[in-house]
Amino acid sequence: MLILNNATLTFETQQLAPFVSNIELTMLQPMVTVADTMLRQGTGAGAAYTDWLHLPTEYDKNEFARIQAAAKKIQANSKVLVVIGIGGSYLGARAAIDFLNEYFNNYLPDEQRDFPQVLFAGNSIAPAYLNSLIKVIGDRDFSVNVISKSGTTTEPAIAFRVFKQMLEDKYGVDGAHDRIYVTTDAKRGALKTLADAEGYERFVVPDGVGGRFSVLTAVGLLPIATAGGDIEQLTAGAAAGEVAYADADLTKNPAYQYAAYRNILYRKGYTTELLINYDPTLVQFGEWWKQLQGESEGKDGKGIFPATGNFSTDLHSFGQYIQDGRRNMFETLFRITEPVSDVVIPEMDADDGLGYLQGEKMSYVNRTASEGTLLAHVDGGVPNMIVELNKQDEFGLGQAIYFFEVAVAISGYLNGINPFDQPGVEAYKRNMFGLLGKPGYEELTAQLKIRL
């Protein structure tokens, strides 16, 4: 186990022993050193999109203060904040809000919540979802944070049109201006132009930070702060990660060690990674992680396929496959040492077979389940690693975010790909634009309709 002094995150690899030898990790050190140089000195592919590397310590302090002020304003005048975005424009914020709050907090009545309800739109084109969300808002006061670097991405652009019209109908054009917050490119784009013309308060998606790395910018910070998250502590945790995960030496850097082990396992045929959790408040973190991993590594016919396992729930669905199916997967268990709250199993006379557990804490049962499952899967031929936070708070979350971000950068370079572009994402967009008849796509429209 590699533990950093005064750190909140530990990385454990004991259960990899049957699958990876120490010499394999040692032999990978020269390549990791090269990957570190490419990342730190900006000589690797995609270097223009590595500003996230020092974001926790070199962020815009003035904008940070404006984010905090805007969050307080929304908290004062709104019962709901609608966050409009897709992919990296919402996954990080949603993961953080779930991570930092009691699971059902976002569904409590207004009088039982200390902060606005945060709802997400623009992440699909399903009309029933949008109509349902509008019903949930009802007559309550609400504000909108629309997040898009270009402003022309179809899913959020449609949603913004709908909610912009709703705000103008409810509060008038001038009143709507006071409830629309735009997070977009600093210099260009349709949304930036609209925000300037209408006078919306505007925040920046930095040029050197790709969407999947943007949770520690205004993209994630405004929704998180509005929901009551302490974004100063979140940033401090990431800053601690920036220091902790900066050494190129594999024996001193758990994030690099994680990247190296992933690479070793991938070369041995373990092409699918499951990020495992044992708490529903961590489910959305897995969704954020899937985009970070999949969009960074899945290209050039290569890459580990990222998936999640929400245990113990999923053990009763595809747990059989994990235990006895094709041996092409490995697991990374992401768990918290100290639960936010606990339940003691009641003592009673009922003959339900639980007499041996009465008086125990559910957290003990949950952790024991995680350990028993891990050992069973290792015995079944599934390599396992553990990333563990000692507390489920903003500081720990910031450190975990940075851990996975820097790890995937090194992992991508080790696999010979650019971890900061996403050329494959544009293919579906082009086809969608063509089939929808967007001007400029007429030739493609004709081609696609013949194929269909």
- The reported pLDDT for the residue numbered 409 is 98
Collapsing DSSP states into helix, strand and coil, what is residue 117?
strand
CA angle (255, 284, 155) in 5-degree steps: 115
CATH of 53-229, one of 3.90.105.10, 3.40.50.10490, 3.40.630.30, 3.30.43.10: 3.40.50.10490
- Neighbour tally for 320: CB within 10 Å: 10
Q: Residues of the chain whose pLDDT is less than 50?
A: 1-5
- The reported pLDDT for the residue numbered 291 is 97
Tokens 């082990």 appear where? 261
From residue 355, alpha-carbon distances to 90, 345, 351 in Å are 45, 10, 8
Collapsing DSSP states into helix, strand and coil, what is residue 421?
coil
Q: Which two tokens stand for residue 436?
A: 């929808």
- The reported pLDDT for the residue numbered 6 is 53
In this prediction the pTM is 0.94
Cite the DSSP H helix spans in 184-298. 190-198, 218-226, 231-244, 254-267, 283-297
Q: Which residues are catalytic?
A: 295, 429
Q: What is the pLDDT of residues 305-341, one digit of tens each?
A: 999 999 999 999 999 999 999 999 999 999 999 999 9
Domain 9-44+234-415: homologous superfamily in CATH: Glucose-6-phosphate isomerase like protein; domain 1 (3.40.50.10490)
- The reported pLDDT for the residue numbered 3 is 43
Q: What is the pLDDT of residues 202-212, one digit of tens each?
A: 999 999 999 99
Where, residue-wise, is CATH 3.40.50.10490 in the chain? 9-44+234-415, 53-229
Strands 329-338 and 272-277: parallel
- The reported pLDDT for the residue numbered 2 is 46
**Distance from C-alpha of 194 to C-alpha of 118, rounded to nearest angstrom:** 24
